[in-house]
Amino acid sequence: MKDEFLQRYTRQMVLPDIGQDGQQAIHDGHALIIGLGGLGSPAAIYLAAAGIGHLTISDYDRVDLSNLHRQILYSDQDIGKKKTQVAGEKLRQINPSLKITSIDHRMSDDELIECCSNVDVVLDCSDNFVTRHAVNKACVANSKPLISGAAIRLEGQIGLFNLQKNSPCYACLYPEGNDEAERCSAAGVLGPLVGIIGSMQAMEAIKLLAAVGECLDGRLLILDAATMQWRSVKLQKDPDCPICSRPS
Ligand SMILES: [Zn+2]
């Protein structure tokens, strides 16, 4: 390993659970991040900084003034620019060896399935149920782990789906059609809350790539930021789930 590599990641590699092999596994990793907003910003920053080899970043929005209180990839001067463009530049500044693939249009279901087939892990950092269900279907179709985050008002949650054959999928938890189409644009959210959840999504992705510890497989963590109470809910695969339990 080159000196620059060793020096950059020394505080990670000194961890016995990571070491050189874990760092190499992170370097060989490819993650897809859907949504470069409040969750996607810290998730992408931490994965880039941690030395992931390849990030595919997807967002079709432009930076808006009302994003800046929580979307920490962007600055005042970025208003009006494409989020993928600004994010790509910022992430390359953090880690020049990072390979970035940018997708700046709304992906069709087929495109999403194709995109998921090329990655090791998917981080859903979107803000709506239509996208979340489309991402879940693409992950199930490709048997890819899905790290799903959400935050609204003072409540956040994170779960890991599809890790193993008997793991629940997102639709086992939230069946399609029960969508309360509530977004933080209407309900509001505090910036550090999306920072907490997005950072945890990056943490789970790093653990997964480096095979460290125990992932959130089949568990949903729910944070009430008003009281700073966490709840851990065990999830079961729904034997009647039309997405992951369909007979093949
Ligand atoms: Zn399911």
Tell me the per-residue pLDDT of 51-69, one tens digit each, with 9 for 90 and over.
Answer: 999 999 999 999 999 999 9
In a domain, 240, yes or no: no
In a domain, 243, yes or no: no
Q: What is the pTM of this model?
A: 0.96
Q: What CATH number has the domain bearing residue 226? A: 3.40.50.720
Q: How many whole angstroms from 246 Cα to the centroid of ligand 1?
A: 9
pLDDT band at 70 (very low <50, low <70, confident <90, very high): very high
In a domain, 74, yes or no: yes
pLDDT of residue 11: 96
Percent of the chain clearing pLDDT 90 (strictly above): 92
Contact of 161 with 167, CB cutoff 8 Å: yes
Alpha-carbon separation of residue 67 from 85, 86, 94, 206 (angstroms)? 16, 13, 21, 26
Nearest to 36 by CA among 102, 83, 98: 83
- Work out the average pLDDT over 152-168: 95
Q: How many whole angstroms from 99 Cα to the centroid of ligand 1?
A: 32
Nearest to 111 by CA among 128, 131, 126: 131
Percent of the chain clearing pLDDT 70 (strictly above): 96
| Beta-bridge mates of residue 101 | 56
Q: How many whole angstroms from 96 Cα to the centroid of ligand 1?
A: 38
Residue-wise pLDDT for 202-237, tens only, equals 999 999 999 999 999 999 999 999 999 999 999 999
Number of domains observed in the structure of the chain = 1
Non-local (6+) Cβ contacts of 150 within 8 A are 39, 127, 132, 156, 157, 158, 197
Residue-number span of the structural domain to which 80 is assigned: 3-234
Contact of 45 with 125, CB cutoff 8 Å: no
Q: How many whole angstroms from 135 Cα to the centroid of ligand 1?
A: 13
